[in-house]
Homo-oligomer: A and B are copies of this chain.
Amino acid sequence: MAGSTFGNLINIMTWGESHGNGMGVVVVGCPAGIELNETDIQKYLNRRKPGQSRFTTARAESDRVEILSGVFEGKTTGTPISMVVMNYDQRSRDYSEIASYYRPGHADYTFDQKFGFRDYRGGGRSSGRETIARVAAGAIASKILNQMGISITAYTKSIGPVSIDTFDPEQIENNQVRMPDAIAAEKAIAYLEECMKKQDSSGGVIACRVTGVPAGLGNPALEKLDANLAKAIFSIGAVKSFEIGSGKNAASSTGSQNNDPIRMLEGNVTFDTNNAGGILGGISNGDTIYMEAGFKPTPSISSEQKTVTRGGENIHISIKGRHDPVIVPRAVVVVECMTALVLVDALLENMAARLDRIVDFYNPEKR
């Protein structure tokens, strides 16, 4: 479908522009009976929202979510859930300059090429604000997963040249860059301050671990679980790389290094290593799903850049306003939420995999 839907059994449709009336999402196919209120969603949105640290834009967005449908007496009804975050901070400023040229690293040029014109206010549809809608939907998906003992933890693995050395999940929400390593976080913060001084920005890597996933989710061939995760993560703006398990390192290793030996442990099949990243042949193997996504640096920088006007004239620009020097810390929750949506879809789809379980499900005597 053309552009703004995702998922099969649980399916979302997002809408909204950065400086339009609001950002929203409709979630179709959400199971009935989930206890849900705005607070459940807001918790996730608050991790994404600007103004959390000095590395996020100062825009005073309240980003308050409203649930408009699909919940009755505190529970999801099985019908579409519509959620909206209205934009209250649409300062009417002068966009004529930004409308007149193409910002490097942004979708300005490609949007014009596709649609003939564009909503140039703050990036329009291509703004990072679009991820609000995904986070709202993903918060519901995460709630479903939690009920089943599945837990998703994403975090900043690196910013520019600074990588983590340790993994302490308690640290993630304790520093401005969402690193599970307090020392690396300090270094990353110092690096970002340097970037800001140079009117520059930085990229980074987000890692994501999912535990408690039952074996059997996904499919062989064209609908592999990792293929759907790859699409989900690559649909987040600024992502330039995606890896599962040993990732790109697998390409330079040997079979004897990369194969995960299988052992019985307390009656369960286990893997000595997890180069597979929890997925074999497109199907979850019960181990932790591990993946990494590389994000490019924020393209909006105030140092001078070469570009062209819509009229085809070479110019030099310097982008005004304050922008996040790195988007990675705010994108952590977006990675979690897109992952959650893929996993819930795979969980629901997998219920149809075996005749015996289907017959069992509909057996009136087992209800």
Contact = CB atoms under 8 A, between A and B. Distances in A.
A203 B283 contact: no
A169 interface: no
A231 B221 contact: no
A338 to B, nearest CB: 9
A144 interface: yes
Contact of A281 (B10, B111, B221, B359): B111
B2 A214 contact: no
Q: How many copies does the complex hold?
A: 4
A272 B219 CA distance: 41
Contacts of A275: 296
A348 B352 contact: yes
A255 B105 CA distance: 8
B220 A79 contact: yes
Interface residue tally of chain A, by bracket? 35 or more
Interface stretch (A26-34, A39-47, A52-60, A171-179): A26-34
Contact of A280 (B66, B107, B161): B107
Given A242-B242, A285-B109, A80 B15 contact: yes
Contacts of A202: 253-255
Nearest to A247: B241
Contacts of A257: 297
A305 B204 CA distance: 37
A247 B293 CA distance: 10
Contacts of A322: none
Given A77-B117, A105-B276, A230-B230, A248 B294 contact: yes
A256 B303 contact: yes
Contacts of A269: 102, 109, 308, 312
Most buried by B among A16, A262, A282: A262
Contact of A126 (B6, B9, B66, B281): B281
A223 to B, nearest CB: 4
A134 B164 CA distance: 40
Nearest to A306: B261
A81 B16 CA distance: 8
A359 B32 contact: no
A180 interface: no
Contacts of A226: 234, 239
Interface in A204-248: 204-205, 214-224, 226-235, 237, 239-248
Given A254-B160, A351-B352, A1 B6 contact: no
Given A14-B221, A28-B5, A104-B259, A148 B347 contact: no
A289 to B, nearest CB: 12
Interface in A60-85: 66, 68-70, 72, 75-82, 84
A124 B216 CA distance: 16
Contacts of A76: 355
A158 interface: yes
A308 B1 contact: no
A362 to B, nearest CB: 6
Interface string A278-314: 0111111110000000111111110101111000111
B11 A2 contact: yes
Those 3 A-B pairs whose CB atoms lie nearest each other, nearest first: A107-B281, A2-B29, A3-B219
15 contacts: A1-B29, A6-B222, A72-B124, A77-B115, A77-B125, A111-B283, A114-B218, A126-B281, A203-B252, A229-B234, A247-B294, A255-B298, A256-B301, A258-B299, A262-B307
